[in-house]
Structure 1
Amino acid sequence: MTSRLTKTVAATLATAALLTFPLSAFGAVSQPTLSEAAVSSVHAPRGALVSAVPVAQLTAAQLDAASVDFPGTPPASYGVTAYRLIYRTIDHDGRPTTASGIVVLPDGRRGALTVAEYLHGTNATKAAAASVDDTSTDRLVTALFAGQGLVGVAPDYLGLGLGPGPHPYLDTKTETTASADLLLAARTFAAKHGVALKRDVLVTGFSQGGRATMGFGRALSRGEVGPFRLGAIQAVAGPYDLLGSELPASFDGRLLPATATFYLAYLMTAWNRTVGLYDDPREVFQAPYASTVEGLFDGTHTEGEIHAGLPNTPEELFTPAFIRQLQHPTGRLLRAARAADDVCRDWTPRVPVDLYSGTKDTDVTAANTDACAAGLRARGADVTVHSMGPVDHTGTAFAAYPGIIRAFARWA
């Protein structure tokens, strides 16, 4: 679920590739304007475009150089230009809000093009989102799709990038609406550049974005995203099975304790805002963390700062009573987890599904992927599970995305 792909890979790529070019090679990066960052409570149609500014530009050769850590990625056919969009959407309770994301167009292409929508992994820092972070690997992956001649689309989700408020982490409802409404805004924006978006949408995502991919794919399959429908779905290392796989793995040694602590702290503080898990943090968190943990996830702290503010194990963070709740959920926590796990259980994709996992993943246990495949197959879906072998969480993405880019390129 982690943003480690963004952080680790971005640092590698920035050193190995992007910084070998002058800053201008990555485009004239604009700071958010006052009007761009402003949030209005005035009702506007979902998917309405608020603003668009260019944030990056890369030639085909620069894309190829930047993809060095994704060996086997097909050579780019086009240079690309990335734009930051702000658009109208809704929050968990259906209230109007705004969100940010990127749209990446292949330079020189016009007419009807296919969208590849990429959904990113866990990120607790607004400034690390693809629309505002010039070293974001999520931005790069989206650009690699555009380099094949597709239109790359990637939401920041609510509360990240230039989105107001905190991020509602692992909230299927807003992961889906933010993804859908950016696609609608992208249709308006692309038309201004002579590009019409084809009906079939290719959806992929990593980690948190893997499970968001299933939720968004479900909405497309059900005809809930304007004229668009699901064309292909490829999800990488997602926490699809919280109750049966990810929560148990947080306590039985399959996840690194510090990693599990980070994820559980993020999830419980976020879900408290959306489903209501506690009235006072002291009901859930031990001292001294009860007075600080919610503030760590306000979007202003880096991943390193958050880890420094948390203990090394869930048992040190949570009260004994809540540890028992995490191990044997009941009430609102159980209902929320069941709803989250439905992304692989309550619909039947009409297109083949490709899922990817790694056997040494200590962030999102590979059992999540097996459970998702079983749930979809029980409803008659055509599912292929790709084990990327003895690789960790980030390594799974490194290994999977060259093939996903190649598969999606056939739609260009």
Structure 2
Amino acid sequence: MEINSVNGRLSGVLVGIVLVASAAGCASAGQGRAPARQAGAAAGAPSPAVRGTVVSVTPLARMSQAQTGRYLDEADLKAPRPRAGVDVYRLVYRTVSATGRPTTASGVVALPRGTARALQAVSFAHGTHSGRRTAGSVAADGQSRIAAVYYAAAGYAGVAPDYLGLGVGPGAHPYLDAASEGEASLDMLRAARTVAVREGARLDRRVLVTGFSQGGQAAMALGRRLERGDDPYLRLGALAPVSGVYDLRRSQIPASLPGRGSLDPRVSAFNLAYATVAWNRLYRLYGTPSELFRAPYAGVVEQLFDGSHDEEEVFPRLPARLEELLTPRYVKWLERPSGALLRAIRAADGTCDWEPRAPVRLYGAAGDEQVTFANTGACVRALRRHGAVPRVVDYGPGTRHFDTLHRGLPDTLRWFQTRK
């Protein structure tokens, strides 16, 4: 089964992304219901002064320059060579849930050793994880831990949020929820500043932002928050997402559906099932899974995406074709979204609908088999409508999804180094 198609530990996370939800299994289902997000986002949200407060710091690794090089070699990241050893920490910090309630989240901070104590942060947002223990704050070979160490080895502060409900954060992960991705990422940066100070460093106010696949969406959401001044100190220095999912409605969903999709159907089945279950928690998209999923998958799909199963466990229990997973009515609703489904899609889309003043590069590949490159084209058009002039780096038709991550990490680093 071709899921993780790239050598090295960076490919150990699925990534990709699609869509969402349903209600009574027809186009009118879910209409008239108040989304769970609106119903729950009442009083009780912590103030900005509380958000980003550090709850705990756990040292995870203390690596010399040579040990850092070996660690990155195992991840097939051989260039550039590390400039320094790296100290890695797990952070637990205060943030808000997808419904606006106080909660905590976790993430990774990697700091270079023996270098100047004035550091610029690189925020890296990871791709899709179905299991909470795959996140970088827990897994030594987690995608986001590798990325944080990679940037720290080059002299930056590597900051990598787990998002909500992954790592050691409580609750379920609100997959493809752009708002909570951006909020958790910003609060993670606030917590990272505190930890950096404790370790004798100071973070520059200009943050370099990147992310991969689902993390491309998260990176755009974070970039917008930094650009509009949601934090009184932090600002966006440069933005460089890789293979992001920016346009579910007109790009990613059509490329995933049976009979017309150009993407890997097994990966699309995974992403669609995950998003459906996750978005149902926020938007009340169905009463029972059988309204969306065929037997026998309707009986197991919610358990598969409860956060305790990683991709290697989930994939063998899902079908190889979307036709075997989805009900016909659900497919039609995805083709013409309305009601609760449309609300969910609109909440996920739009992360490119703003004007960055900081420089932007979008990385991706025409040959991506998991996240259609049309997402990048849609993002470029949205940014240009606001007057931005993003540059696009297309790795070409022969480059697959995880290849873009392996090429994107060194390329974003080289570009960030020109922004100093």
2:181 pairs with 1:182: no
Aligned pair partner of 1:157 in 154, 157, 163? 163
d(CA) in 1 for partners of 2:113 and 2:278?
Answer: 39
Q: 1:4 to 1:131 in 2, by over 3 A?
A: farther
Which one-letter code corresponds to 1:64 in the other structure? G
Q: 1:226 to 1:124 in 2, by over 3 A?
A: farther
**1:245-284 alignment, distance < 5 Å:** 245-251=251-257, 252-284=260-292
Q: 1:82 to 1:64 in 2, by over 3 A?
A: same
**1:85-124 alignment, distance < 5 Å:** 85-124=91-130
Aligned pair partner of 1:202 in 204, 208, 213? 208
Q: How many residues align?
A: 382
d(CA) in 1 for partners of 2:372 and 2:45?
Answer: 43
> Any conservation in 1 of the 2:108–2:136 contact (CA below 8 Å)?
yes
Aligned pair partner of 1:239 in 218, 226, 245? 245
Aligned pair partner of 2:385 in 369, 378, 384? 378
Aligned pair partner of 1:368 in 375, 391, 416? 375
Which one-letter code corresponds to 2:317 in the other structure? G
d(CA) in 1 for partners of 2:289 and 2:109?
Answer: 39
**1:41-60 alignment, distance < 5 Å:** 45-60=50-65
> Any conservation in 2 of the 1:143–1:152 contact (CA below 8 Å)?
yes
Q: 1:70 to 1:366 in 2, by over 3 A?
A: farther
Which one-letter code corresponds to 2:198 in the other structure? K
TM-score when scaled to structure 2? 0.86
Which one-letter code corresponds to 2:235 in the other structure? R
Worse overlay, 175-184 or 400-409:
400-409
Which one-letter code corresponds to 2:183 in the other structure? T
SS at match of 1:124: coil
d(CA) in 2 for partners of 1:179 and 1:201?
Answer: 12
Which one-letter code corresponds to 1:97 in the other structure? T
Q: How far off its partner does 1:66 sit?
A: 3.8
Which one-letter code corresponds to 1:95 in the other structure? R
CA root-mean-square deviation: 2.2
2:362 pairs with 1:355: yes
Aligned pair partner of 1:144 in 138, 147, 150? 150
TM-score when scaled to structure 1? 0.88
Q: Taking every aligned residue pair, what percent have the same amino acid on both sides?
A: 46
SS at match of 1:363: coil
Worse overlay, 274-283 or 181-190:
274-283
d(CA) in 1 for partners of 2:252 and 2:405?
Answer: 18
Structure 1 unmatched runs, 5+: 14-40
State the Cα deviation string for residues 19-48 of structure 1 (Å, max 9, x = none): xxxxxxxxxxxxxxxxxxxxxx99681111
State the Cα deviation string for residues 366-392 of structure 1 (Å, max 9, x = none): 111111111111111121110112110
SS at match of 2:81: coil
Q: How far off its partner does 1:316 sit?
A: 1.3
Q: 1:78 to 1:241 in 2, by over 3 A?
A: same
Structure 2 unmatched runs, 5+: 13-43
Q: How far off its partner does 1:334 sit?
A: 1.4
Which one-letter code corresponds to 1:381 in the other structure? A
SS at match of 1:344: coil
SS at match of 1:355: strand
Structure number with greater CO (CA < 8 Å, separation at least 6) is: 2
Q: 1:71 to 1:308 in 2, by over 3 A?
A: closer
Match of 2:339 in 1: 331
Q: 1:304 to 1:43 in 2, by over 3 A?
A: same
Q: 1:143 to 1:411 in 2, by over 3 A?
A: farther
2:9 pairs with 1:10: yes
State the Cα deviation string for residues 155-182 of structure 1 (Å, max 9, x = none): 0011111011111001111101110111
Q: 1:42 to 1:329 in 2, by over 3 A?
A: closer
d(CA) in 1 for partners of 2:162 and 2:241?
Answer: 17
Aligned pair partner of 1:61 in 66, 91, 103? 66
More helix by share: 1
> Any conservation in 2 of the 1:9–1:137 contact (CA below 8 Å)?
no
Aligned pair partner of 1:403 in 380, 390, 411? 411
Match of 2:323 in 1: 315
Q: 1:317 to 1:166 in 2, by over 3 A?
A: same
